[in-house]
Chain A
Amino acid sequence: EIVLTQSPGTLSVSPGERATLSCRASQSVSSSYLAWYQQKPGQAPRLLIYGASSRATGIPDRFSGSGSGTDFTLTISRLEPEDFAVYYCQQYGSSPKTFGQGTKVEIK
Chain B
Amino acid sequence: EVQLVQSGAEVKKPGESLKISCKDSGYRFTSYWIGWVRQMPGKGLEWMGIIYPGDSDTRYSPSFQGQVTISADKSISAAYLQWSSLKASDTAMYYCVTSGSYLDAFDIWGQGTMVTVSS
- Interface of B with A (CB < 8 Å)? 35, 37, 44-47, 50, 59, 61-63, 95, 99, 103-107, 109-112
Contacts and interface: CB of A to CB of B under 8 A. Distances in A.
Interface in A61-79: none
A60 interface: no
A90 B45 CA distance: 9
A46 B109 contact: yes
Interface of A: 1, 31, 33, 35, 37, 39, 44-47, 50-51, 56-57, 88, 90, 92-93, 95-102
Most chain A CB inside 10 Å of its own CB: which residue of B59, B63, B95, B105? B105
Main secondary structure of the interface of B (DSSP, over half): loop
A88 B95 CA distance: 15
25 contacts: A33-B103, A37-B45, A39-B45, A44-B95, A44-B110, A44-B112, A45-B37, A45-B95, A46-B109, A47-B107, A47-B109, A50-B105, A51-B105, A56-B105, A56-B107, A88-B45, A90-B47, A92-B103, A92-B104, A92-B106, A93-B103, A95-B59, A98-B47, A99-B44, A101-B44
A98 B64 CA distance: 13
